[in-house]
Amino acid sequence: MPEMTFREAIRKGLTEAMDGDQKVFLMGEDIGAYGGSYAVTAGFLEKYGPIRVRDTPISESAIVGTGVGAAMGGLRPIVEIMTINFSLLAMDQIVNHAVKVRSMSAGAAHVPMVMRTVTGGGAGLAATHSQSLEGWYATVPGMKVVIPSTPADALGLLRTALQDEDPVLFCEHALLYGTRGEVPAKPYTIPFGKARIARQGKDVTLVGNARMVHVALQAADELAQRGVQAEVIDLRTLRPLDVETVATSVKKTHRCLIIDEAWKTGAIGTYLAFRVQQEAFDTLDAPIAHIGGEDVPMPYARNLEQLAIPSVQTVLKALKDQIGV
Amino acid sequence: MASEVVMPQLGYDMKEGRIVKWLIAEGAPVKRGQGIAEIETDKANVELEAFGEGVLRKIIVPEGQTVPVGKLIGYITAPNEALPAEIPTTAPTAQPSQVPQPTQAQSPASQPAVQQQPSAPAAQGEVRASPLARKLAQDKGVDINRVTGTGPGGRVVEKDVEAYAQQPKATPQPAAPTALPVTAQAPVVQGDRIVELSRMRQAIARLTVASKMTIPHFYVSADVSMGDAMELRRQINSSLESNQPRVSVNDLLIKACTLAVQKYPNFNASFKDNKLEMHGSINIAIAIALEGEGLIVPAVLDCGNKSLLQIAAASKDLIDRAQQQKLHDQEYSAGTFAISNLGMFDIESFIAIIHPPQSAVLAVGQVRKTPVVKGDQIVVGQVMKMTLSSDHRVNDGAAAAVFIAHLKRLLEHPVTLLM
Amino acid sequence: MTQTRAGFTKAQLLEFYRQMLLIRRFEERAAEMYTRGKVRGFLHLYIGEEAIAVGTMAALDPADYIVTHYRDHGHALARGIPSKSIMAELFGKVTGTSRGKGGSMHIYDVSKNFMGGYAIVGGQMPIAAGLALSARYKNENRIAVVFFGDGALNEGEFHETLNLASLWKLPVLFYLENNLYGMGDTIDNTYAGGRDVSRAATHYRIPARQVDGMNVQEVYGAVRDVTASIRKGNGPFFLEALTYRFRGHSMADPANYRSKEELASWMKRDPVPTLRIQLLDMAVPKAELEAIEQGVEQEINEAVDFADKSADPDPSDLYRDIEADSVSATHS
């Protein structure tokens, strides 16, 4: 199986879509001449030309809103919001319009649009450029929120997103672009709402998304040295949310820790905890535990930033304090 | 075809509205789109437009009344068209929103709150155990109270129950009691209860709170020597024909207040939008207690043009009709100054709350015999205490003092009341 | 067919009159139905502004995209969406334009390229740009028209969209219905640029023009002119129609922030009776106008009757048309 980076997997998915369907076009800030602020679309302008690779002004609302209209007009836009922090400037278009058109028009109009954006912290960008806001969008009916953790998943999920008939928010973690992984050569897609069991175990279930899946896997390595076998689940999509896979695992392990990079207050994992306890209450041997980002604006200093984001250490501590493993 | 006029929905959150004013008279022609009534909602006063054309054939709900959205309030018809047969009768004019309605306060005493005793073992709530451990304990017949927990905070977890179950059993477990003994009859506890307020009581609550919240009240008091006034009243009443209404102390007060506000018209005024509304006529309102129901403050209209005897007749009529709930809308709302008299309840003095939009109210107590100094002698005098509550936005303390002093002078020289 | 002054046929003018009257009567009845609790939520009336919708729609091509705001009944009716479907939508009935899901503020009819009423001020603007982009991308000979009020001038989406549309030369008509009030505040209090709002467009190098929004013939002519420019590939155009709403912002608004004199001066220019008088002056028989008026009255009566008798949405519709799967599941 060929190996590639997360960035190359996304680029491969975009290339396939551009090659396969003339109705697909890209639109966003500095995606053309600059090559994309995370270099995902480098070379695209030269290959596909300015009609299909459209550099926009820094106007997030107009970018997303124009995408909504273009999708209603029969195109399949892929809009890039440079980071999820800037999506707040387009929230009206995303929440009030993109996901409402189908319902308000009784299904006569719809918006097949993929919104690619970059999420997550840990790169020293401080309060306004380090947020994990994907969980907010996951509360909105009609929205799909995708958040892969591996190159293979990124490609498979992007292919699914590009086939979807409704708006998809596709969140790429900033610190994962350079990570490598095996990607199947044969065509495949990954359905939304299907979590991945990243590691099998019988003693405790660890649940995460994006970079937190990697934190959970490292914690599982540590636990294994003590003879505790942790099962690690990668949610892959926050909406639809795969409660079933997590609940099934918890019925087996009787213990569960959910990890979010997003602020702990209102994190999507806290809702997942509620759903899992509904499904698996009588099998629980401990309260479902949750850790999330500290409830602080992300600080700049390295040591403070590290304290604000869940790490292998905080995962192990939570397992000990809250669950007793 | 007759077009129904209904209390309009004016905003998604509107539940009821009050008809402030009908803008055209019954029988008058109406054009589509013409404003026909002024409606008060929670947010604004809005003109109700006519959706039909013809004449305003019938007003069903009079001014001042609050009705729910959708309620029929009138009919617009072609000029000579008959009304539908099942038209509701015109509501009695004396039924504004503050008219008492039978309260629905059914006593809940027949359903006393009985404290249910928990039937589960009391000990169960005290053990910290995971759901899985409890289920396992139940399956294995283990008394979870006896298991030592090793989880966080001493919680009994799965492995604790497993370990306990594998211990050799020295003695049979005593069966845990399944339920606490239940007393034959739980004591009846007389708890608090909720009583629905009549619309009148609700209106009083709204009005008095609004008054105290928005009107900066202040008070001035004075003693009035009422001897001469009482003598004058005796003389007048003894000279009246038997079918003529007697003059009461209240009537003397109404006349005196009328004269006082004629001299000091700022006490016959309302504060409105940073302006003073100086009322053209003097309508002295009197507080009337309706037994068991509450209080209304209807007005004797146009006192400025009435003699003392006319006031006596009008006030008697007003009180009679108030008891029969036959007052006119205008009498409820037209007061420009008010008197509250609790003398008949043997009250010496008290302070009253201003009835908006009025700006003053006079609270009077009983006329009581009191030793007073007259010249160098102590004689039996008849003294009445009165307290004026005044709106400080309209009048200051000195003005109120001058006013009450004038009122005192009028009552102590009662012949002026006949002039 | 005889030509009248300014080149309108009598039939055209009669049709203008019928459509303006239809909108007027439709909204009067909608208002009445609101007061009776048949219509819920917000109801924003277009009364006074009818000449704009009617003159504009007549001048557009059926293929052109229409995107509008929440005061949308006039546009929808002038576009030819059946009055009974719109009334049923206002009543929240399953026979409504959006099966009772959208209400007054969200009228759609994609079959007529009427791409929706949008209830967030300014939110519709980039959507129209996107529709225009799709037309250009696919080499389709159609334009997008987006209506907005003067309140939208102060939204970021207005400026973002004008800038983007000008840069990309998108075939979009930015159509300002300037009724001088954004909800309850005047344009003079809320917009720093003065009454010459065309500068907001020319700043982005978008040509601009003003038209008397109370005159249906002038509206028609102006829209003809500016859309011809757009269709030639010259990029967007900005058209400002000066108008006035005779009613409050919504049903709950008695419009106390406006003087009676100001309202009266605009009502003197009420486009509906104005055109009626003009038609009588042209020696159109009164009976012909009365026949139109009766026809409108009857259509509205039928619309109300249809809406009233139509069924509520099925409870299962709660989950319908939210995502593609939920549609196909119910459609198949």
Report CA torsion sign: B224, B226, B229, B233.
positive
CATH for B3-77 is 2.40.50.100
Sheet with C65-69, edge to edge strand ranges: C114-118, C65-69, C144-149, C172-178, C237-242, C208-212
For C121, which residue in chain A has the nearest alpha carbon?
A92
pLDDT digits (tens, 9 = 90+) for C95-147: 999 999 999 999 999 999 999 999 999 999 999 999 999 999 999 999 999 99
Contact state of B151 with A324 under an 8 Å Cβ cutoff:
yes
Q: Which two three-digit tokens encode residue C293? A: 């008026």
Q: How many other C-beta atoms are found inside a 10 Å radius of the C-beta of residue C268?
A: 10
Burial class (CB in 10 A: 0-12, 13-18, 19+), C250: buried
Mean pLDDT of C301-322: 96
Q: Under DSSP, is residue A53 helix (H, G, I), strand (E, B) or coil? A: strand
For residues A93-111, give the mean pLDDT.
97
Q: How far apart are CA B187 and CA C139, in angstroms?
A: 86
Burial class (CB in 10 A: 0-12, 13-18, 19+), A316: middle
Q: Count the Cβ atoms, other than its own, within 10 Å of residue B153.
A: 9
Q: Is the pLDDT of residue C89 over 70?
A: yes
Is pLDDT of A235 > 50? yes
pLDDT(A130) > 90: yes
**Helices vs. strands in chain C: H and E counts, helices first:** 13, 8
Mean local confidence (pLDDT), C10-26: 97
pLDDT at C5 over 90: no
Q: Is B54 in contact with B8 (CB distance < 8 Å)?
A: no
Answer yes or no: is pLDDT of B188 > 70. no
Inspect the interface and report whether the beta carbons of B6 and C36 lie closer than 8 Å: yes
pLDDT over 50 (residue B119):
no
Window 25-44 of A: residues touching C by CB (8 A cutoff) are 25
The Cα of C62 is separated from the nearest Cα of chain A by a number of Å equal to: 15
pLDDT attached to residue B9:
84
Nearest-angstrom CA–CA distance, C150 and B390 = 48
Q: Does C251 touch chain B (CB under 8 A)?
A: yes
Q: Which of A281, A283, A321 sits opposite B152 (nearest CB)?
A: A321
Using 50, 70 and 90 to split pLDDT, how confident is the model at C328?
very low
Give the one of B133, B135, B152 whose C-beta lies nearest to A324's C-beta: B152
Query: Topology of domain C5-331, per CATH?
Result: Rossmann fold (3.40.50)
pLDDT at site B201: 80
Spatial distance between the Cα atoms of C312 and C100, rounded to a whole number of angstroms: 8
Which of B75, B363, B8 has its CA nearest to residue B221? B363
| pLDDT score of B207 more than 90 | no
The pLDDT value given to residue B8 = 87
Assembly ipTM: 0.93
Using the beta-carbon criterion (under 8 Å), do C156 and A61 form an inter-chain contact?
A: yes
DSSP letters spanning C53-80? HHHHHHHS-TTSEEEEES--HHHHHHTT
Is pLDDT at B135 greater than 70 in this prediction?
yes
Region B2-18: mean pLDDT is: 83
- B378 has a pLDDT exceeding 90: no
Residues 6+ apart with CB under 8 A from A156: A188, A189, A190
Q: Which residues of B touch C (CB under 8 A)?
A: 6, 8-12, 14, 32-33, 41, 43-49, 51, 69-70
For the cut 60, the answer to whether the pLDDT of residue B176 exceeds it is: no
* Residue C41 contacts B where some CB pair is shorter than 8 Å: yes
> What distance in Å separates the CA atoms of residue C42 and residue C44, rounded to the nearest whole number?
6
**Percent of all residues in chain A with a pLDDT value above 90, rounded to a whole number:** 98
Higher-confidence residue of C219 and B372: namely: C219
Domains of chain A plus CATH, in order, are: 3-182 (3.40.50.970), 196-323 (3.40.50.920)
**Which amino acid is located at B20 in the chain?**
V
- C5: its two tokens: 């002054």
Instruction: Give chain C positions within 8 Å (CB) of A51.
Output: 137
Contacts of B152 in chain A (CB under 8 A): 286, 321-324
Contact C289, C281 (CB under 8 A): no
Q: Report strand pairing: B275-278 vs B269-272.
A: antiparallel
Residues of A in contact with C164 (CB under 8 A): 56-57, 59, 62-63, 66
- Pairwise CB contact (< 8 Å): B133 & A285: yes
**Dist. CA B37–CA B60, nearest whole Å:** 12
- According to DSSP, the residues that pair with B381 across neighbouring strands are B370
Crossing angle (nearest 10°) for helices B158-166 and B131-140 = 20
Count how many pairs of residues, chain A against chain C, have C-beta atoms within 8 Å: 149
The CATH superfamily holding the domain B128-165 is E3-binding domain (4.10.320.10)
Cα separation, B159 vs B405, in Å, equals: 91
**Percent of all residues in chain B with a pLDDT value above 70, rounded to a whole number:** 83
Distance CA C301, CA C299 (A): 5
Structure-token match 């949610």, residue found: A235
Mean predicted confidence (pLDDT) in A165-177:
97
A227 at interface of C, judged by CB pairs closer than 8 A:
no
Q: Is the peptide bond before B181 cis (omega within 30 degrees of 0)?
A: no
Q: Which residues contact B412 (CB under 8 A, 6 or more apart)?
A: B224, B225, B226, B228, B229
Burial environment of residue B373 by CB neighbours within 10 A (0 to 12, 13 to 18, 19 or more): exposed
The pLDDT, as a whole number, for residue C294 is 98
Average pLDDT, whole number, for chain C? 94
Q: Is A78 helix (H, G, I), strand (E, B) or coil?
A: strand
Tell me the domain boundaries of chain B.
Answer: 3-77, 128-165, 199-418
Of B47-56, B99-108, B241-250, B356-365, the range with the lowest mean pLDDT is: B99-108
How does DSSP assign B346-413, residue by residue?
Answer: T---------TT--EEEEEEEEEEEEEEETTEEEEEEEEEEEEEEETTT--HHHHHHHHHHHHHHHHS
pLDDT of residue B334: 86
C55-64: pLDDT as tens digits = 999 999 999 9
Amino acid at B60: I
Residues of C in contact with A144 (CB under 8 A): 323
Asked if A74's CB is within 8 angstroms of C322's CB, the reply is: no
| Whether pLDDT at A89 is above 70 | yes
Active-site residue among A29, A46, A110, A129? A129
**For C137, nearest residue in chain A (alpha carbons):** A51
Taking only the tens place, the pLDDT of each residue in A258-292 is 999 999 999 999 999 999 999 999 999 999 999 99
The answer to whether C147 touches C67, Cβ cutoff 8 Å, is yes
The label of the residue with tokens 């928990």 reads: B118
Q: Does B128 touch chain A (CB under 8 A)?
A: no
* Mean pLDDT on A45-49: 97
- Note the pLDDT of residue B189: 60
Give yes or no for a contact between A103 and C101, defined as CB atoms under 8 angstroms apart.
Answer: yes
pLDDT confidence of residue B105: 42
Predicted confidence (pLDDT) at residue A312 exceeds the cutoff of 80: yes
Put simply, whether C76 touches A (Cβ < 8 Å) is no
CA distance C197 to A254: 66
The residue type of B314 is A
Most confident stretch, A97-106, B38-47, B276-285: A97-106
pLDDT at residue B327 tops 80: no
Interhelix angle for C10-35 vs C83-90, to 10°? 20
Question: Is residue B100 pLDDT above 80, yes or no?
Answer: no
Report how far residue C205's alpha carbon sits from residue C199's, in angstroms, rounded to the nearest whole number: 9
Chains contacting chain A through 3 or more C-beta pairs under 8 A? B, C
- Tell me how far the alpha carbon of residue C115 is from its chain's centroid: 12
Residue with tokens 């020696």: C283
Taking CA–CA distances from B6, the nearest residue in chain C reads C36
Cis peptide before B357 (omega within 30 of 0): yes
Mean pLDDT throughout A49-75? 98
Q: What is the mean pLDDT of residues C76-81?
A: 98
Whole-angstrom distance, CA of residue A204 vs CA of residue A146? 25
Per-residue pLDDT, averaged over C50-77, amounts to 98
User: What is the pLDDT at residue C6?
Assistant: 65
Mean pLDDT of the B139-162 span = 90
Touching subunits of B (3+ CB pairs, under 8 Å) are: A, C
pLDDT at C326: 56
- Chain B residues in contact with C35 (beta carbon < 8 A): 6, 8-10, 48, 51
CB pair distance less than 8 Å for A286 and B131? no
DSSP per-residue letters across C314-327: PGGGGGTTSSHHHH
Closest approach of chain C CAs to the CA of A109, in angstroms?
7
- Of the candidates C34, C253, C254, the beta carbon closest to that of B9 is on C34
In chain C, where the domains are located: 5-331
Answer whether A35's CB lies under 8 Å from A43's CB: yes
Closest C-alpha among B358, B361, B350 to residue B334 = B358
Q: Is A129 a catalytic residue?
A: yes
What pLDDT, on the 0 to 100 scale, is given for residue B326?
76
| CA B152 – CA A255 distance, rounded (Å) | 13
Confidence at residue B78, expressed as pLDDT on a 0 to 100 scale: 87
**Cβ neighbours for A166, distance < 8 A, ≥ 6 positions apart:** A99, A102, A110, A111, A112, A142, A144, C323, C324
B151 → chain A, closest CA residue: A324
Give the SS3 label for residue C266: helix
Cross-chain Cβ contact B44/C36 below 8 Å:
no
Q: Which residue of B has its CA nearest to A288?
A: B130
**Can you point out the beta strands (E) in B131-283?**
217-225, 269-272, 275-278
The C-alpha of B145 sits at a distance from chain A's nearest C-alpha, in angstroms, of 17
* Helical ranges in chain A per DSSP H: 6-20, 44-48, 60-72, 91, 101-104, 134-137, 151-163, 211-225, 243-253, 268-280, 302-308, 312-318
Cα–Cα distances in angstroms (integers) from residue C193 to residues B320, C159, C208, in the given order: 67, 13, 15
The predicted structure's pLDDT at residue B87: 61
Residue C320 has pLDDT above 90, yes or no: yes
10 Å Cβ neighbour count for B273?
5
DSSP β-bridge partners for residue C240: C176, C210
- Cβ distance of C37 and B70 shorter than 8 Å: yes
Q: Provide the CA C319 distance to its chain's centre, in angstroms.
A: 30
Lowest-confidence segment of C151-155, C255-259, C265-269 by average pLDDT: C255-259
User: Which of B187-196, C158-167, C277-286 is predicted with the least confidence, judged by mean pLDDT?
Assistant: B187-196
Q: What is the pLDDT of residue C329?
A: 35
Half-sphere exposure of A279 (CA within 13 A, CB side): 20
Contacts of A323 in chain B (CB under 8 A): 152
Q: B178 falls in which pLDDT band (50, 70, 90)?
A: very low
Cα gap A9→A177, rounded to integer Å: 9
What is the rounded average pLDDT of the residues B241-262?
92
Q: How confident is the prediction for chain B on average, in pLDDT? A: 82
The answer, for C132 touching chain A at a CB cutoff of 8 Å, is: yes
Q: Which fold has domain B199-418?
A: Chloramphenicol Acetyltransferase (3.30.559)
A248 burial level (CB within 10 Å; 0-12, 13-18, 19+): middle
As annotated, the active-site residues of B are 392
